[in-house]
Structure 1
Amino acid sequence: MKVWLLALLLINLIGCSDNNGDKALQDYQQRLARVLQSETVNLPLPAAPPLAEPRDIKQPLPDLRIDLTDTLATRRCGLDTLIGERNSSLGRVYSASKQLSYELRFLNQLQQCLNLSWDNTALQQQLQQVYQQKQLSITNAFNNMLLTDDTLRKELLGVRNSLAVTEIAGLSETWQALRALNQLQQFIVEQNWQAASQVDIEQQLQQLYRYNVLGRLQHSLRISAHQLAQLNQQLAGVTPVSLCQPQPDKQQLDILANIFAKYFIAQVQQYTVNLEKYQQQLWPLLEELYRDTPLQPALQQRFAGNYQLMRTELGQHVSWWQQLNRQCPLQLTRQH
């Protein structure tokens, strides 16, 4: 047996100890390179489509003021507490998400105020004007949260940390958080201020931050598409027929079959299957949330575009194995 074949057989088949997707792909590529005696292809990762900067897309909100004497008159329906909250030292530096929460609570409380009977018709008219202006600006407040919140920006920009090959924690929680934000968006469209004000925005953002599934999914789709493209380029010069004719090397073919089962099927394919599942569950919610926003085109490419590239490169790679299986008696089977 050739020395390099013997060394390859002695390598632990468990794979990467950290069970990381891009490490599994890299390990798989290197094993194929060794058994096929081909050069690995290492190309720089293409840059992701840039996201518009928060300062360029944040929309101003109207600065509405109510006289102190009128504020005292609004104690009967609790508006004074909200006004005091906004004028506090913390209220003046609200994040976009906290600002949105405040605006929704204010609209809900103001709507209830206007349903009361008022002796002071001038104040009632003033409150009605404030209510109308708040309604007109609430979409800006929601979009400011979507486009500039630090937690969401981290998820949308991605992180250089791939998902695990196996099942991950936080998928359900991420789905629930995105669904809650979509429901909030719908409540705002319906002007259902009571329901909208009860959505705990900070809790949803905390769930996204805690598990960081979206940020890692984005990177995983991007890096897997890139690594599979490198792998296909590496195999472009290795035709299946050259491995079988005129005389097949049985030891080499046995190791290829082993790599196919232990590394491609058990790790690489399982990884891409999981990425597909995550993409199909999460991307429709994210796409709906950011539809008609300045970030939608870049997000489309970062998630859906890279997902399609991954599938295309994976299909090309599977085709190489299918051709090899037809040319040589490897009896390869592909799991689903």
Structure 2
Amino acid sequence: MYTKPHILLNTLVILLALTGCEPNSAKRSFNTYNDRLANVLDTSPATINDDELEAFPEPRDLLLPVEDIRIDLLDAYELRKCGLFNLIAERNSILGKVQDKTRQLRYELILLNGLNHCQETLPDDSEVLPMLAGFKQQKQAQLAHHLWNMFTTEKEWRQQLTIHHQPFELGLFYGFDESLNAFNHLAYIQQHIQAGTSIEEKQADRLIKHQEQLHAHHYFGQLIFSIQLSTLWLDSITNMLEKSESALICGPNRNQQQAEYLSNVFYKFFVNKLQPYLAELDSQYQQISPALSELLNPDHAKNQAITPYYEKYISGELHDQFRQATLKHVSFWQRTFKRCNIKVGIH
């Protein structure tokens, strides 16, 4: 049977609209787990209050000053002999003066690589060599600030660090690979900057590719929100369970029905749905935090505006709370199963 195109289109629009209205699967799973446990225990479900999260600082508070140092084009003309003149002329053009911070960092890295090449290839008696040495020293000293400014104030990069108030869906962690690769690449560049060694042009070019790939994501800010929300839920649900612990009658020669019902809820909603989600949050944080720890270290950047954010999310304070909440929750079930003589893993 033939279906008119406009009918198919209208149906698709309706389906997409309905899908967009569906509650987040992580939120739904925590809510359902909470409600089912409360129902078995005949108590009120736990509630959570969204804590105010430490915001990523504003660009004006993070931006580090960088003096605009340019080479005179009359001197730069001599650099035709080592292939650097066109690069400098392009940077001094109208378009070059308005490039974004990612392209500016790319230019600075390629420029330093070119300066090294010129120092190695120009004749020893070249009049521009002393000028090149001073210019290179100044540019090298600015590189760390260029990297910091790009990462913390450029839209696509800071978008990854700004808190995104929507948790990841169960099993869907969009942006992880893109962010991990990008942050690791920036850490690689930072290591070379700190060591005073040059970056190959193809490695500088990768900055643009990473910037493009990050455009659609809010990865780390979403990871932080997911960990925070999970911590709040775990603490609240565990607190509800512990308050009802003494009223749970089970064990040898006791009616096990309530304990069995609780066990069913635990396996169906926590073990099968929430535990894999929590484990993935933990794993991804551990993989991505080392690079961020280097890139956002307040002592390296000489910018203390980042300190509260860094201490809460990068150095591990929130992650420690998340792990403690998970351990406390699992510990309740371990001692309950032991007391009620319910075999762990048999369901």
Structure 1: segments with no counterpart, 5+ residues:
1-16
SS for the counterpart of 1:115 is helix
> TM-score with structure 2 length normalisation?
0.80
The alpha-carbon deviation at position 263 of structure 1 amounts to: 0.6
Does residue 257 of the first structure (1) align with residue 267 of the second (2)?
no
Residue-by-residue CA offset, 1:37-86 (whole Å, 9 max, x unaligned): 22223332112223332212312222223333333332222332222222
Does residue 230 of the first structure (1) align with residue 200 of the second (2)?
no
1:1-336 equivalent positions in 2, closer than 5 A: 20-118=25-123, 121-166=126-171, 168=173, 171-195=176-200, 198-199=203-204, 200-210=206-216, 212-244=218-250, 250-291=256-297, 292=299, 293=301, 294=304, 295=306, 297-303=308-314, 304-333=316-345
2:6 maps to none
- More deviation, 147-156/158-167: 158-167
Distance 1:265 1:242 in 2: 21
- More deviation, 233-242/309-318: 233-242
Identity of aligned residues (%): 29
> TM-score with structure 1 length normalisation?
0.83
Root-mean-square deviation over aligned CA pairs: 2.9
Seen in structure 2, the aligned counterparts of structure 1 residues 120 and 334 have a Cα distance that, compared at 3 Å, is farther
1:36 maps to a residue whose letter is: L
Equivalent pairs, count: 319
Distance 2:122 2:83 in 1: 15
Contact 2:160 2:217 in 1 (8 A): no
Residue-by-residue CA offset, 1:93-131 (whole Å, 9 max, x unaligned): 222222111111111112212223359844333232211
Structure 2: segments with no counterpart, 5+ residues:
1-21
Distance 1:175 1:71 in 2: 39
The alpha-carbon deviation at position 238 of structure 1 amounts to: 0.8
The alpha-carbon deviation at position 209 of structure 1 amounts to: 4.0
The alpha-carbon deviation at position 134 of structure 1 amounts to: 0.8
Contact 1:178 1:204 in 2 (8 A): no
Contact 1:181 1:289 in 2 (8 A): yes
